[in-house]
């Protein structure tokens, strides 16, 4: 760790994911002795942050943290920071744009229907295009915020009626099979984690309630399947212009085909989070993972060129 710079862990801010971000920030700061934990109450940087004295590790999820805003603010003030830059963050928070990047890179992605809250499609039209089992979600949120999982046209109609008349949304065919996730460090895939919700689907509550899901890490998969998922995750990391770290989510269907859902530029770092479980598969405990996530930013701050 750089002795001449103070490590600042940013968390909180104003978004639907604030509480999770606070938990991530406290966990991360807890394994970085001498770091300063800053719990933001507004979507703006503290005035005292200084590019000559500080290096930032932001664990702000969702708005301000993953949409490129905090990254742009840090870059504008010359403050070195860990994680993806503003351009990659803006791309990857947009699930529709990310899926376009996936397809261009040859990463498997299922078709989607994108729409706005003001101009939502009819339920019958979505069912004709995607089938009766449909997932509706915001196009630019994380942590399964605003997720609707529908089993038939009536549930699709109810979900469409419930969404706000604002914002950008998307619909996809509901996938069957096994839900998986893989963390990446400096573009290299770590272990594949399998998520098994004990009830229902892996929604916001199940993600952040201890004991609501089982996790298998490494996921019990055939070696060629694991390797194929890891290669595709690395291709997605590159296609998104990511740097330092990220986490990609993927579904494996019973026929052996897998489809990536998204890539997260600021993965959760709570005790139930997937990124630490992926790291554990390659022998990294939580403290070692955090230090690996931070290391490239420290090298950039010292002017060391990474190869």
Q: Distance between CA atoms of 172 and 296, rounded to whole angstroms?
A: 36
- Per-residue pLDDT of 268-296, as tens digits, reads 998 789 999 999 999 999 999 999 999 99
Is pLDDT at 252 greater than 80 in this prediction? yes
How many degrees, rounded to 5, is the angle at CA 155 between CA 212 and CA 165? Answer: 95
Contact by Cβ (8 Å): 184, 233: yes
SS3 category, 156: helix
Domain extent at residue 121: 112-173
Asked whether residue 1 is domain-assigned, the answer is no
Q: How many domains does the chain have?
A: 3
- Please confirm, yes or no, whether 17 is among the known catalytic residues: yes
Q: Which of 247, 259, 273, 278 is catalytic?
A: 247
The last residue of a domain, from among 154, 173, 192:
173
Do 39 and 12 belong to one domain? yes
Do 156 and 210 belong to one domain? no
Is pLDDT at 199 greater than 70 in this prediction? no
Do 19 and 95 belong to one domain? no
Q: Which of 5, 172, 268, 273 is catalytic?
A: 268
pLDDT score for 209? 54
Average pLDDT of span 167-190: 95
- Please confirm, yes or no, whether 39 is among the known catalytic residues: no
The whole-model pTM stands at: 0.89
Asked whether residue 50 is domain-assigned, the answer is yes
- Please confirm, yes or no, whether 214 is among the known catalytic residues: no
Do 208 and 237 belong to one domain? yes
Do 155 and 190 belong to one domain? no
Asked whether residue 167 is domain-assigned, the answer is yes
Q: Which of 90, 191, 194, 208 is catalytic?
A: 208
SS3 category, 187: coil
Q: Which of 24, 35, 89, 143 is catalytic?
A: 143
Asked whether residue 305 is domain-assigned, the answer is no
Q: Which of 12, 15, 17, 183 is catalytic?
A: 17
Which residue in 275, 292, 197 sits closest to 233, CA to CA? 275
The domain that holds 241 is classified in CATH as 3.30.470.20
Average pLDDT of span 183-193: 98
Asked whether residue 151 is domain-assigned, the answer is yes
pLDDT score for 201? 54
The last residue of a domain, from among 173, 192, 215:
173
Is pLDDT at 36 greater than 90 in this prediction? yes
- Please confirm, yes or no, whether 66 is among the known catalytic residues: no
* Preceding peptide of 218 cis, ω within 30°: yes
Which residue in 148, 143, 5 sits closest to 65, CA to CA? 143
- Please confirm, yes or no, whether 247 is among the known catalytic residues: yes
- Please confirm, yes or no, whether 264 is among the known catalytic residues: yes
The two counts, helices (H) then strands (E), for the chain are 10, 12
Do 129 and 237 belong to one domain? no
- Please confirm, yes or no, whether 208 is among the known catalytic residues: yes
The domain that holds 165 is classified in CATH as 3.30.1490.20
Do 72 and 161 belong to one domain? no
Asked whether residue 65 is domain-assigned, the answer is yes
- Please confirm, yes or no, whether 244 is among the known catalytic residues: no
Do 135 and 195 belong to one domain? no
With a CB cutoff of 8 Å and minimum separation 6, the contacts of 246 are 84, 92, 183, 184, 237, 240, 263, 264, 265, 267
Do 39 and 69 belong to one domain? yes
Asked whether residue 307 is domain-assigned, the answer is no
- Per-residue pLDDT of 66-86, as tens digits, reads 999 999 999 999 999 999 999
Contact by Cβ (8 Å): 86, 74: no
Structure tokens at 85: 């830059």
């Amino acid at each position: 760790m750089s002795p001449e710079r103070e490590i600042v862990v940013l968390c909180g801010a104003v978004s639907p994911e604030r509480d999770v971000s606070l938990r991530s920030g406290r966990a991360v700061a807890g394994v970085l002795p001498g770091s300063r934990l800053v719990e933001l109450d507004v979507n703006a940087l503290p005035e005292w942050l200084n590019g000559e004295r500080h290096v930032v590790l932001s664990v702000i999820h969702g708005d301000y943290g993953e949409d490129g805003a905090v990254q742009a603010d840090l870059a504008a003030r010359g403050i070195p920071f860990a994680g993806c830059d503003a351009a990659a963050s803006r791309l990857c928070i947009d699930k529709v744009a990310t899926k376009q990047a996936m397809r261009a890179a040859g990463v498997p992605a299922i078709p989607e229907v994108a729409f706005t809250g003001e101009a939502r499609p009819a339920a019958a039209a979505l069912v004709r295009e995607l089938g009766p089992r449909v997932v509706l979600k915001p196009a630019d949120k994380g942590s399964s915020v605003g997720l609707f999982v529908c089993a038939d046209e009536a549930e699709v109609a109810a979900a469409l009626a419930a969404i706000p008349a604002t914002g950008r949304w998307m619909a996809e065919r509901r996938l069957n099979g096994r839900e998986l996730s893989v963390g990446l460090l400096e573009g290299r895939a770590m272990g594949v984690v399998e998520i098994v919700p004990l009830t229902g689907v892996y929604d916001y509550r199940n993600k952040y309630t201890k004991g609501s899901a089982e996790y298998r890490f490494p996921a019990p998969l055939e070696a060629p399947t694991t390797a194929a998922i890891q290669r595709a995750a690395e291709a997605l990391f590159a296609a998104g212009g990511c740097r330092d770290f990220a986490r990609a989510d993927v579904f494996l269907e019973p026929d052996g085909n897998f489809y990536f859902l998204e890539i997260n530029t600021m993965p959760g770092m709570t005790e139930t989070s997937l990124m630490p479980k992926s790291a554990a598969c390659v022998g990294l405990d939580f403290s070692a993972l955090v230090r690996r996530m931070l290391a490239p930013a420290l090298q950039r701050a010292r002017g060391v060129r990474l190869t």
